[in-house]
Amino acid sequence: MAASSIEDLLNFEGHFETAAVTFLNTETGIDVFETVTETDLTTPRLEVRFEMDESEDFTSLREGGAAPTTEDFTDYMGAFIVRVITDNAVGGQATNHATYRAKCRKILLYSGTNWDGTTLPYYDLKWLRPGACSYLADEDFNITEMVWNVKFAIRDDAWPS
């Protein structure tokens, strides 16, 4: 499926975050929000964020530039971050924090079928690998941040004409 524009094709963060919201919400049963939001502080909640890292060497010729022979980057690395947030002042959430964290890990470890041509029509996910994890207790809130390393490629048929 071709992207509507180069800008849409290169909106990696938006596409990965949108794809994750749906399946994480379904699997965990708690609210999931794209990129950090301070307008809705519902707890328990998950916040998802995608951050770009480096691209790999030029891997193919695409018509994305000034001429048909322009080389474009097609393979990329990134970080997918999930924050699990619970509120100790609300009954049972502190106890459930570890459960939500474990559910997220399980879902992401076995999430290959969730990142398909329907949820990510422009990209092929090569792998999603667990990275760093940190925990913070901030006043009434318990916050776990899990970082997953991502490698993906722009699909050949995703380039707009």
Tens of pLDDT, residues 64-102: 554 566 667 788 999 999 999 999 887 777 778 999 999
Using the structure block, give the residue that is written with the tokens 């919400």.
25
DSSP state of 30: S
What confidence score (pLDDT) does residue 91 get?
75
DSSP state of 4: S
Tens of pLDDT, residues 18-75: 999 988 988 888 999 988 666 667 889 999 999 998 887 655 655 555 456 666 778 8
What confidence score (pLDDT) does residue 63 get?
53
Would you identify the CATH topology of the domain 6-64+72-158? STM4215-like (3.30.2000)
String of DSSP letters for 110-141: T-GGGSSTTTSTTEEEEEEEEEEEEEEEETTE
User: What is the pTM for the complete model shown?
Assistant: 0.85
Count CB-CB contacts under 10 A for residue 133: 13
User: Which residues of the chain form beta strands (DSSP E)?
Assistant: 31-34, 45-55, 60-61, 71-72, 75-87, 123-138, 141-154
**SS3 at position 57:** coil
Q: Largest alpha-carbon pair distance within the chain?
A: 61
Count CB-CB contacts under 10 A for residue 65: 12
**Residue among 151, 102, 153 at smallest CA distance from 128:** 151
